[in-house]
Amino acid sequence: MSLTSKFKEAMVGLKAGRVTLDYPAHPRPVPENFRGRPIFDAQKCIGCAACANNCPAREILVLDVCQEVRILKYLGRRCTYCGRCSDVCPEKAITMSHEFETATNKISDVHQRLDLFMSTCQRCGRCFKETSPLEQLKLKGYRFDDLENERWIFRSRSFLESEPLVDDIKIELD
């Protein structure tokens, strides 16, 4: 190897310059179409639980504490940021933000919990989807996911607990 080729190699190496990002000191903008952490807007949310039904990771839990209040909890731990919840949201209450710096030492930091005020359907009490029209008439479709153990429960139920968390109207079991 001659001296000129070594010189050429050195010139190539010098031309590249410094490529390393100075990342934690200087912020790094993300691409425009980047999907980060979903942000839930409590003012726009109507509590239809379409996001909970469509989440592939079963990440959004819904608990009806009484006839009027529905808790919607987003866990955020196994979220793949697929954006399906924001696609199916009828009110555009979920926006995929550009947040990606979600590193924590407590996983409960990425939780989001909304207490939603639900109005009562004047026909059935609570609107929902069931297999047959007769069952749609009979059942009410309250959801009772396990918030403490963060478990999705696959059935809806037709009645609320006899002793709800919020001391409100006693709702008869049907």
Short-list 24, 46, 154, 28, CA closest to 92: 46
Compute the distance between CA of residue 82 and CA of residue 77 in angstroms, rounded to an integer. Answer: 13
* Eight-class DSSP state of 162: S
Please name every residue paired with 78 in a beta bridge, in sequence order, or none if there are none: none
Residue 63 · residue 71 · CB < 8 Å: yes
CB of 147 to other proteins, least distance (A): 12
CB nearer to other proteins: give 43 or 131. Answer: 43
**DSSP 8-state symbol, 5:** H
Selected range binding other proteins among 1-9, 78-86, 127-135, 141-149, rule: CB under 8 A: 78-86
By CB under 8 A, residue 149 contacts other proteins:
no
Helix (H) or strand (E) holding 27: none
Among 50, 67, 85, 156, binds other proteins (CB under 8 A): 67
The CB-of-17 to other proteins minimum distance in angstroms stands at 12
Residues that bind other proteins (CB under 8 A): 19-21, 23-24, 28, 30, 37, 40, 42, 56-59, 66-69, 75-81, 99-115, 117, 120-125, 152, 166, 168-169, 171-172
